[in-house]
Chain A
Amino acid sequence: MAVMNMIQALNDAHKVAMRADEDIVVFGEDAGYFGGVFRVTEGLQKEFGKERAFDTPISENGIVATAVGMAAYGLKPVIEIQFADYIYPGYDQIVSEVAKMRYRTAGEWTMPMVIRSPYGGGIYGGQTHSQSPESLFTHIAGLKTVIPSTPYDAKGLLLAAIEDPDPVLFFEPKRIYNGPFSGHHDQPVVPWSKRAEAEVPEGHYTVPIGKANVVREGEALTVLAYGTMVHVARAAMEEADVDAEIIDLRTLVPLDIETIEKSVRKTGRCLIVHEAPRTSGFGAELSALVTERCFYHLEAPVERVTGWDTPYPHSYEWTYFPGPARIKTALKKVMAD
């Protein structure tokens, strides 16, 4: 075991995978020589050479598009889009080519690729460096969407994503790269090294895609979250002293609906927390599924705490961010009666 933050865990996953499989190539803006702006690909070029870990021009469409050709012809590209907010020039390729290639070719061509991208707010990034675009991808058939929330999961899920025969969008919650976040922005960041989830096994292991993690068992209500919001929700539940069952989805598509259903049937109440805007956010899908499957077990309407239907603001980041105060307000509603 080694103690790692999320960046180190992701970096280690790259190294483990690349040592085992020469078909893996890693590239992106600043990803080669410089090792990535968040340092996730640091040292890869040194160990694996410029043929396997390299820089690209600032050309997101080109990055995704060339990865499609590589994947179709037997390589396993693991590409970095520097911020999720920069992914849109590549969105056409992701939606029209990456997602549909297996279907279009009746399985002749496959897309064993991973598109990694830091996402989310809480870093004063404003409208073009804070977005949570996951539902733009969960809406597209043919893609998997994975979001880790701890160093242990980050490494295990990235290795699983790289080994997956299908394309995986791998969104990394950049606010918690260096330490988990309670949602109280005025309190100092606690580094990962103080947490058990920073214990990362050396070498190869995977965390299965499609399996949620019950991070805290409880009887009073079910809280569904992913990424940064797992930690924010957990802190809010602890502060409110509620016996909540908190589920970290880890994978949005494929979704571990069985774990969710089992929990909500037990607790009878469901609170969903995500940072992305509310309308057509992934919480809408979760709410619909829970209602469809657990309606007769529900004691109260499903509640969602989300970002608002506005661009991510420059001023008032912490008013936008679905932090502890808003979670507690929603908690009161879902616990009423």
Chain B
Amino acid sequence: MARTAKQKTSSKKAQPPLGNKERPPEPKRYKASKEELLDFYKQMLLIRRFEERAGQLYGLGLIGGFCHLYIGQEAVAVGLQSAMTVGKDSVITGYRDHGHMLAYGIDPKVIMAELTGREAGISRGKGGSMHMFSVEHGFYGGHGIVGAQVSLGTGLAFKHKYADDGGVNLAYFGDGAANQGQVYESFNMAELWNLPIIYAIENNHYAMGTSVERSASEPDFYKRGESFQIPGIQVDGMDVLAVRGAAEVALEWTRSGKGPIILELKTYRYRGHSMSDPAKYRTREEVDSYKKEKDPIERIKAELEKAGVAEEELKATDKEIKDIMVEAAKFAEETPEPDPSELYTDVLVEEY
């Protein structure tokens, strides 16, 4: 925490007015029912166990190349996407996409099989870890180029408005991607055209190996829309209930035709940027401080305890998720590779 504590932060009260535009209300921490708490727990654990298993398969050589794990950031995907409607609201993200897919109810088996490059993978083995899609769910990837998805999400939001389908786009990107020029082109268009889009900036403090303080002149990312008149809210991204509360506000804002909104989710990834990153650019103490004091799964466990759910009662869920992962890993390992002729398909409609 030492490094992040040094970042420039300013009071939210110091925000300048957005012209004559109203601002969204301050989000409240979500009051979840016992069932909802259990569901959040289950979903976050599913993501964490999936990522741990993916890391193991990577170590065994079953997954190659680039693989970016979401461990530590689970509360963001679950908090935001639990408030959304699969198939109606669209989601788009960058390369750290496994958690966002799982939070949208996509089968872990076909995600894992994509990581291992199999025919049964969700992109038929063509995309790999960074490039996965499910139009059925309204999940539009899975994009390997940092920041590219922000503009694509803006286009998805245009379609929601054009079709008047009541849907909203959730476009995820990180603190690193937030410095790409195309993000600001998108902000301008989204506000100009009043598009229903939530720009969710997952600030995990590191753009690959470069900390926010070394890469961002304005480290409070929720303010990055101010000059486009897009309001922003900073959220504790390690607390699923705080995230869900912010999601409620952002969805209300966008669904009621008030245009785009920015959420900055302050979060942390426990692992390196990718599997090949030893993360030497940060201290062990910093990583441990998040794991010990802010872990989103431990925090929901505490909430469950307050709601009268004993840890003993969670064991059935833990077992269920363990079984899902064993099955997903087995499937990803045993299901066949695509036919080599698939190399030539989907480049264009016609083969050439």
Contacts and interface: CB of A to CB of B under 8 A. Distances in A.
Interface string A51-63: 0000111111110
B147 A124 contact: no
Contacts of A62: 179, 181
Contacts of B210: 29-30, 32-34, 55, 57
A37 B343 contact: no
Interface in A24-53: 29-30, 32-34, 37
Interface stretch (B30-38, B76-84, B125-133, B248-256): B125-133
A218 interface: no
Interface in A305-337: 308-311, 313-317, 319-320
Nearest to A57: B179
A283 B326 CA distance: 47
B187 to A, nearest CB: 15
A213 B177 CA distance: 41
A32 B66 contact: no
Interface in B203-237: 207-210, 214-216
A233 B281 CA distance: 39
Contact of A34 (B209, B216, B338): B209
A109 interface: no
A235 B279 CA distance: 36
Contacts of B179: 57-59, 62
Contacts of A314: 65, 117, 125-128, 131
Interface stretch (A126-134, A159-167, A291-299): A126-134
Nearest to B214: A55
Contact of A57 (B65, B126, B144, B215): B215
B176 to A, nearest CB: 4
A309 to B, nearest CB: 7
Interface in A53-81: 55-62
A89 interface: yes
B7 interface: no
A125 interface: yes
A34 B215 CA distance: 13
Nearest to B337: A315
Contacts of B352: 309
Contacts of B118: 315
The contact size tier of chain B is 35 or more
B209 A124 contact: no
B144 A315 contact: no
A128 B117 contact: no
Nearest to B280: A34
A129 B209 contact: no
A126 B180 contact: no
B65, B181, B216 pick with most chain A CB within 10 angstroms: B65
A38 to B, nearest CB: 10
B55 interface: no
Contact of A315 (B117, B145, B281): B117
B65 A129 contact: yes
B340 A316 contact: yes
A124 B344 contact: no
Interface in B175-190: 176-177, 179-182
B5 interface: no
B214 A33 contact: yes
A85 B338 CA distance: 25
B299 to A, nearest CB: 30
Given A126-B127, A127-B131, A315 B338 contact: yes
A308 B145 CA distance: 22
Interface string B308-352: 000000000000000000000000000001101011100100001
Given A33-B214, A125-B66, A319-B343, A58 B207 contact: yes
A141 interface: no
Given A33-B210, A34-B281, A315-B338, A58 B125 contact: no
A5 to B, nearest CB: 16
A86 interface: yes
Contacts of A311: 126, 347
B19 to A, nearest CB: 28
B138 interface: no
Given A57-B179, A309-B347, A314-B117, A126 B128 contact: yes
B146 interface: yes
Contacts of B64: 124, 317
18 contacts: A34-B281, A58-B177, A58-B207, A58-B215, A59-B180, A61-B180, A61-B181, A86-B146, A89-B180, A89-B182, A124-B66, A125-B65, A126-B144, A313-B343, A314-B117, A314-B127, A316-B117, A317-B64
Given A82-B208, A126-B130, 7 more contacts: A30-B209, A34-B280, A55-B214, A58-B207, A86-B145, A128-B131, A316-B337
Interface of B: 64-66, 117-118, 125-128, 130-131, 144-147, 176-177, 179-182, 207-210, 214-216, 277, 280-281, 337-338, 340, 342-344, 347, 352
> Ordered nearest first, which 9 A-B pairs have the shortest CB separation?
A124-B65, A128-B144, A124-B64, A57-B179, A314-B128, A315-B117, A34-B209, A315-B125, A57-B215
